[in-house]
């Protein structure tokens, strides 16, 4: 039976059918949870869909969330390509928020298009450094990056909560949030551009970071499949011994991958702080780092798949945020259930459907007489 | 002097209370990882067990039925991990994270739907909780200075789960090193092919190890929700599953050093709770967030300083595929 694993499935099966089947399974199980929570699963999913894509604003929010998830998905995926599991996207993005904020405050008399590159650089330095330390610990001290990145999430939360409560808090402000950035520095919103074409949207925070995310996908593709670095990555994915044999120092590569991963995650701060909230708010990342895990796995660590998976999760988060209005018994936590199931089926149980599909492929090929 | 003794005693007493979930979870992790299955999912199993125990105890008003429910749910999640890692040869770290994310979503969703209290379960009455047991002789010994205090605060006055948890490392050590099952479990983690050649099913041993892991995580979760506190609340595990995992690694996958590591983490936690809000001469009040970060910082320092040459089970994380 295991022999079928070796069969190469056609691309559309491997990259489209299997993720869709896994997703279907995740939705099916979530329906059971919804049923036991006392609601009608069909009504709930219809409401999710309506909230996410039923209006222009809803769609805008969906893509706004998707922007975050593309960044964190790329962060997890590039680490996966290097054989590492970066669970620290949440903390890296959170720390990067301070970088963005400092750049905005420092360049407070300039407008957004001057500040944006500086803020990206600053975010990259902060978030990249936060990812570098676990990378260094993994490469030089052998401390497993899974545990250290989780610990760094807790440390980031403690550090920023301290900064927001005691240092950065805006004067006369009760809740822990920083001062606002200058209004000149707000990133242009897509709703303003769409208004030019007569599309009416009043609330959606979708901003030009979305294009930044798409560009990041292109950079990812170049990095992994078109560069020497990417070649080294795919060698080290085969194991450290293989890498050493090929003359690639694994320690340096591990640290580089972690920094790049951290930089991808950091761009969440651009989207949220310069694009929507215009200040640093406590726990602003809101789980985006963890969504990245599901997005990377479902997107098969490929930029195109990551965009699709990120939009799906964007829709779930947007639809989920309005769920509680229609169904008092349900909350946004239900989306986290779907997220966990997607990680389970797309990540850990990807071999459920593969053997039967492989047998089907072999059977069909024989029928054709090949 | 006596004041200092009192302070030390109360810190030690809270060290014991805080160590319990860590010890149970770390021993759970040991059962799983010594059999060759990485277990990042301790956190999620504990959280789900905490919810199941608190919810069941709230409905039945019986702490022991709650414990049984907690264990059952945790064992089911362990078996799910087993199906992914043993039957389907899946990535074990990813499967563990999936369980953590699943639990982080499922527990508050069900709590909201069934009890409608913002993701919490109702407060438990005394019958629904595991309450303190007073060991015999407390009246006579308790009044003696020093010895009486130690007996009253450290040895007596805990709930049943505490005593169970303290025994756990010894039971796990006995299973691992003194029984045939333990030998096979260790073989599954070190050299599964040898075990297979000897005619023992590696899968069956690893599944049984998962069940053992589930039972211990279940007790840990029930302790959090029905003994240490009187209800389930969101994210009440607060990273303890990961700390337990770190203790297991720091303890080099061996019962005694792991137990000591758990006490070390718990002691740091007890000290950090004690430090909150106190004025330290020359420094002033340390920000509460910095103090709360202590256990996590300690974890990183320990893993970075001592794990250079750790001896993990050799077959850990590798799916077992029979040679043909």
Does any CB of chain A come closer than 8 Å to the CB of residue B112?
A: yes
Residue A344 Cα, gap to closest chain B Cα (Å): 5
pLDDT of residue A198: 67
Q: Is the pLDDT of residue B54 over 50?
A: yes
Does any CB of chain B come closer than 8 Å to the CB of residue A63?
A: no
Are B39 and B213 spatial neighbours (Cβ–Cβ below 8 Å)? yes
Q: Is the pLDDT of residue B156 over 80?
A: no
Looking at per-residue pLDDT, the higher value among A6 and A286 belongs to A286
Are B285 and B278 spatial neighbours (Cβ–Cβ below 8 Å)? yes
Size of interface A-B (CB pairs under 8 A): 164
Looking at per-residue pLDDT, the higher value among A63 and B151 belongs to A63
Q: Is the pLDDT of residue B304 over 90?
A: no
Q: How many domains does chain A have?
A: 1
Residues of chain A contacting residue B114, judged by C-beta atoms under 8 Å apart: 37
The tokens describing B315, both together, are 């077959």
Residue B276 Cα, gap to closest chain A Cα (Å): 14
The region of weakest confidence among A8-12, A321-325, B215-219, B303-307 is B303-307
Q: Is the pLDDT of residue B37 over 70?
A: yes
Range of the domain at A202: 40-328
Domain B2-130+140-309 belongs to what architecture? Orthogonal Bundle (1.10)
Are B127 and B226 spatial neighbours (Cβ–Cβ below 8 Å)? no
Find the helix or strand (DSSP H, E) in which B211 lies: helix B202-223
Q: Is the pLDDT of residue B50 over 80?
A: yes
Burial A26-43 (b: 16+ CB within 10 A, else e): beebbbebbeebebebee
Residues of chain A contacting residue B300, judged by C-beta atoms under 8 Å apart: 137, 143, 148, 151-152, 155
Nearest to A147 among B85, B114, B246 (CB): B246
pLDDT of residue A151: 93
Mean pLDDT, residues A45-71 taken together = 92
Question: Could you tell me if residue A223 is inside a domain?
Answer: yes
Please name the residue of chain A whose CA is at the shortest distance from the CA of residue B112. Answer: A329
pLDDT of residue A2: 42
Nearest to A37 among B110, B246, B300 (CB): B110
pLDDT of residue B1: 60
- Give the model's confidence band at B113: pLDDT under 50 very low, under 70 low, under 90 confident, else very high: confident
Does any CB of chain B come closer than 8 Å to the CB of residue A31?
A: no
Q: Is the pLDDT of residue B100 over 80?
A: yes
The tokens describing B205, both together, are 């041993």
The CA-based dihedral angle spanning residues A219, A278, A110, A260, taken in that order and rounded to the nearest 10 degrees: -20
Residue B269 Cα, gap to closest chain A Cα (Å): 14
**Interfacial A residues in 302-321 facing B (CB < 8 Å):** none
Q: Is the pLDDT of residue B114 over 70?
A: yes
Mean pLDDT, residues B135-139 taken together = 71
Strand B279-280 to B284-285 pairing:
antiparallel
Question: Could you tell me if residue A10 is inside a domain?
Answer: no
- Are B310 and A142 a contacting pair at CB < 8 A? yes
Residue A190 Cα, gap to closest chain B Cα (Å): 32
Please name the residue of chain A whose CA is at the shortest distance from the CA of residue B290. Answer: A158
Question: Could you tell me if residue A168 is inside a domain?
Answer: yes
Mean pLDDT, residues B102-127 taken together = 88
Q: Is the pLDDT of residue B94 over 70?
A: yes
Question: Could you tell me if residue A90 is inside a domain?
Answer: yes
**Interfacial A residues in 230-249 facing B (CB < 8 Å):** none
pLDDT of residue B45: 97
- Are B88 and A352 a contacting pair at CB < 8 A? yes
- Give the model's confidence band at B323: pLDDT under 50 very low, under 70 low, under 90 confident, else very high: low
**pLDDT over 70, % of chain A:** 97
* Tally of CB atoms within 10 A around A153: 25
Looking at per-residue pLDDT, the higher value among A313 and B124 belongs to A313
Looking at per-residue pLDDT, the higher value among A66 and A15 belongs to A66
pLDDT in tens, A250-308: 888 999 999 999 999 999 999 999 999 999 998 899 899 999 999 999 999 999 999 99
Q: CA nearest B25: which of B76, B63, B78, B65?
A: B78
Residue A200 Cα, gap to closest chain B Cα (Å): 35
Are A205 and A189 spatial neighbours (Cβ–Cβ below 8 Å)? yes
Question: Could you tell me if residue A111 is inside a domain?
Answer: yes
- Are A147 and B321 a contacting pair at CB < 8 A? no
Interface test with B, best of A79, A143, A162 (most B CBs within 10 A): A143
Residues of chain B contacting residue A137, judged by C-beta atoms under 8 Å apart: 300, 303-304
The tokens describing A21, both together, are 């089947």
Q: Is the pLDDT of residue A67 over 50?
A: yes
The region of weakest confidence among B124-128, B129-133, B145-149 is B145-149
Question: Could you tell me if residue A197 is inside a domain?
Answer: yes
Q: CA nearest B247: which of B205, B306, B187?
A: B306
Nearest 5°: phi and psi at B285? -85, 125
Q: Break chain B into its structural domains and give their ranges.
A: 2-130+140-309
pLDDT of residue B43: 96
**Interfacial B residues in 258-297 facing A (CB < 8 Å):** 287, 289-290, 292-293, 296-297
- Give the model's confidence band at A3: pLDDT under 50 very low, under 70 low, under 90 confident, else very high: very low
Nearest 5°: phi and psi at A207? -130, -175
**Interfacial A residues in 71-110 facing B (CB < 8 Å):** 85, 87
Mean pLDDT of chain A: 88
Residues of chain B contacting residue A338, judged by C-beta atoms under 8 Å apart: 105
Q: Is the pLDDT of residue A227 over 80?
A: yes
- Give the model's confidence band at A326: pLDDT under 50 very low, under 70 low, under 90 confident, else very high: confident
Question: Could you tell me if residue A34 is inside a domain?
Answer: no
CATH no. for residue A319? 1.10.3470
* Tally of CB atoms within 10 A around A62: 25
pLDDT in tens, A129-181: 999 999 999 988 888 899 999 999 999 999 999 998 888 887 777 778 888 88
The partner residues of A168 in beta bridges, in order of sequence, read none
pLDDT of residue B101: 95
Does any CB of chain B come closer than 8 Å to the CB of residue A325?
A: no
Q: List the Cα angle A331/A337/A341 in 5-degree steps.
A: 160
Does any CB of chain A come closer than 8 Å to the CB of residue B93?
A: yes
The region of weakest confidence among A241-250, A295-304, B8-17, B249-258 is A241-250
Nearest to B289 among A146, A161, A297 (CB): A161
- Are A150 and B84 a contacting pair at CB < 8 A? no
pLDDT of residue B285: 74
- Give the model's confidence band at B2: pLDDT under 50 very low, under 70 low, under 90 confident, else very high: low
- Are B98 and A343 a contacting pair at CB < 8 A? yes
Most confident of A68-77, A103-112, A232-241: A68-77
pLDDT in tens, A187-226: 888 887 777 676 777 788 999 999 999 999 999 999 999 9
The region of weakest confidence among A222-236, B144-158, B186-200 is B144-158
- Give the model's confidence band at B322: pLDDT under 50 very low, under 70 low, under 90 confident, else very high: confident
Mean pLDDT, residues B40-55 taken together = 96
pLDDT of residue A4: 44
């Amino acid at each position: 039976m295991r022999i079928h694993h070796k069969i190469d499935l056609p691309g559309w099966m491997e990259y489209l059918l299997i993720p869709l089947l896994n997703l279907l399974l995740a939705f099916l199980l979530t329906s059971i949870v919804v049923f036991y929570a006392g609601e009608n699963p069909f009504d709930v999913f219809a409401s999710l869909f309506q909230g996410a894509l039923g209006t222009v604003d809803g769609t805008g929010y969906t893509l706004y969330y998707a922007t975050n998830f593309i960044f964190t998905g790329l962060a997890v995926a590039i680490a996966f390509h290097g054989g590492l599991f970066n669970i620290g996207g949440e903390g890296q993005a959170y720390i990067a928020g301070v970088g963005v904020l400092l750049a905005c405050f420092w360049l407070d008399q300039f407008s957004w298009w001057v500040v944006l590159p500086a803020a990206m650089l600053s975010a990259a330095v902060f978030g990249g450094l936060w990812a570098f330390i676990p990378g260094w610990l993994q490469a030089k001290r052998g401390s497993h990056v899974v545990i250290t990145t989780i610990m760094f999430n807790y440390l980031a939360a403690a550090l920023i909560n301290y900064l927001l409560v005691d240092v950065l808090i805006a004067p006369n402000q009760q809740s822990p949030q920083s001062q606002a950035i200058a209004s000149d520095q707000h990133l242009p919103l897509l709703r303003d551009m769409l208004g030019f074409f007569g599309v009416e949207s009043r609330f959606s925070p979708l901003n030009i970071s979305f294009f930044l995310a798409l560009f990041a996908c292109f950079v990812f593709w170049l990095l992994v499949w078109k560069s020497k670095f990417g070649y080294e990555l795919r060698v080290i994915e085969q194991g450290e011994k293989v890498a050493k044999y090929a003359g690639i120092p694994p320690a340096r590569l591990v640290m580089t991958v972690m920094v790049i991963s951290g930089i991808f995650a950091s761009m969440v701060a651009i989207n949220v702080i310069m694009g929507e909230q215009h200040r640093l708010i406590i726990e602003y990342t809101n789980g985006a780092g963890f969504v990245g895990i599901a997005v990377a796995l479902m997107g098969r660590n490929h930029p195109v798949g990551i965009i699709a998976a990120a939009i799906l999760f964007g829709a779930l988060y947007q639809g989920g945020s309005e769920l509680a209005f229609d169904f008092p018994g349900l909350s946004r936590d239900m989306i986290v259930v779907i997220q966990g199931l997607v990680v389970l089926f797309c990540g850990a149980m990807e071999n459920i459907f593969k053997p039967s599909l492989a047998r089907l492929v072999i059977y069909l090929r024989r029928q054709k007489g090949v | 002097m006596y004041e200092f003794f009192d302070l030390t005693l109360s810190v030690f007493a809270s060290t014991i209370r805080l160590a319990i979930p860590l010890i149970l979870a770390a021993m759970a992790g040991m059962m799983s990882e010594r059999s060759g299955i990485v277990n990042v999912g301790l956190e999620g199993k504990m959280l789900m067990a905490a919810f199941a125990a608190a919810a069941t105890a709230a409905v039945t008003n019986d702490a022991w039925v709650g414990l049984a429910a907690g264990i059952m749910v945790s064992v089911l999640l362990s078996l799910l991990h087993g199906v992914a890692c043993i039957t389907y040869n899946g990535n074990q770290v990813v499967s563990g994270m999936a369980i953590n994310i699943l639990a982080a979503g499922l527990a508050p969703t069900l709590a909201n739907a069934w009890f409608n209290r913002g993701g919490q379960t109702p407060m438990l009455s005394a019958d629904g909780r595991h309450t303190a047991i007073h060991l015999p002789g407390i009246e006579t010994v308790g009044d003696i200075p020093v010895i009486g205090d130690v007996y009253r605060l450290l040895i007596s006055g805990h709930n049943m789960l505490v005593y169970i948890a303290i025994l756990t490392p010894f039971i796990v050590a006995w299973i691992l090193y003194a029984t045939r099952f333990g030998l096979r479990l260790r073989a599954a983690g070190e050299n599964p092919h040898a075990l297979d050649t000897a005619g023992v099913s590696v899968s069956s041993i690893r599944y049984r190890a998962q069940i053992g892991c589930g039972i211990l995580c279940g007790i840990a979760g029930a302790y959090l929700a029905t003994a240490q506190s009187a209800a389930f609340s969101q994210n009440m595990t607060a990273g303890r599953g990961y700390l337990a995992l770190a203790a297991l690694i720091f303890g080099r996958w061996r019962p005694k050093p792991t137990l000591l590591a758990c006490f070390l983490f718990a002691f740091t936690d007890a000290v950090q709770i004690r430090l909150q809000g106190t004025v330290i001469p020359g420094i002033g009040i340390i920000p509460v967030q910095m103090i709360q970060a202590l256990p996590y910082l300690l974890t990183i320092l320990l893993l970075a300083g001592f794990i250079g040459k750790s001896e993990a089970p050799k077959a850990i994380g590798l799916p077992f595929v029979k040679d043909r």
